[in-house]
Copies of this chain bind each other. A is one copy, B any other.
Amino acid sequence: MFKLNKCLILHPIRNNTMSHIELNDKKIQILNVAEKLFSEKGFEGTSIRDISKEAKINIAMVSYYFGSKERLLEALIFHKTVDLKLQLENLLQEDIKPLEKVNKLIEIYINRICLNKGIYRVLHFELYNKKREKSLQAFTELKKGNLKSVESIIKQGQAQGVFRKDVNIQLITPTIIGTFFHFHMNRSFFEELFDLKTEEMFNNYIKNDLTKHIQQTIKALLVYEN
């Protein structure tokens, strides 16, 4: 759309650290506001002016720190997805029953996405948008890793004879995350349906009822009971 007619110093460096790793207060502030607004209004629906107004900074600061709106999105994705991978790998090592592990997995997923509500909404939408593919490659890698973790947990259970073997392992994550997401995407519908008047009530419903439903569903699917 617009070409850089000069190569800017896109990543100002302080204290000899690379700026896309070092995130000073102002950068984090921008990222948080961006996450909020992107998730509320979409990437295209949010202007840099919206962001800078809400973050109480000058418009130029976004370009100054991140180079462009596109790169801001990249930085946001990177910043928000780094540690889920670690959490799952730790779970793998735990010495508990397979079903317990699956239940914990579900809790981790829900908790993670709940904490970073915003960015996951953006991701799932922008992801479909072909032109944004490059920005989202890191996210694809994350998903591959997650799938491997899930696979090995379930195969453990199958080897122990507690999980049935005729399940499509690769489609279990879509069921877990999809259920949760659909609930979140239709938030106002379910708020009305279950009479969840406050933010707290909504979050409690997720923590208790929705989580229980997903765990019950996956258990029913996995556990041998013929």
Residue ranges of A at the interface with B (Cβ–Cβ < 8 Å): 39-45, 121, 124-125, 127-131, 133, 140, 143, 147, 167-168, 170-171, 173-175, 177-183, 185-190, 193-194, 209-210, 212-214, 216-217, 220-221, 225-226
Chain B residues within 8 Å of A180, by CB: 174, 178
Copies in the complex: 2
Report whether B185 and A128 are in contact in the complex, using a CB–CB cutoff of 8 Å.
yes
Query: Given the complex of chains A and B, what is the CA–CA distance between A212 and B175 in angstroms?
Result: 13
Among A183, A186, A194, find the residue whose CB has the most chain B CB atoms closer than 10 A.
A186
Report whether B186 and A182 are in contact in the complex, using a CB–CB cutoff of 8 Å.
no
Contact with A225, one of B143, B147, B170, B226 (Cβ below 8 angstroms): B226
Given contacts A44-B44, A121-B128, A128-B121, contact A178 B170 (CB under 8 A): no
Min distance, Cβ A187 to any Cβ of chain B, angstroms: 7
Chain B residues within 8 Å of A188, by CB: 133, 140
Given contacts A129-B42, A216-B221, contact A174 B168 (CB under 8 A): no
Name 9 extra pairs, CB < 8 A, besides A171-B213, A178-B183. Answer: A40-B128, A40-B129, A42-B125, A127-B185, A147-B193, A170-B194, A174-B179, A217-B220, A220-B221
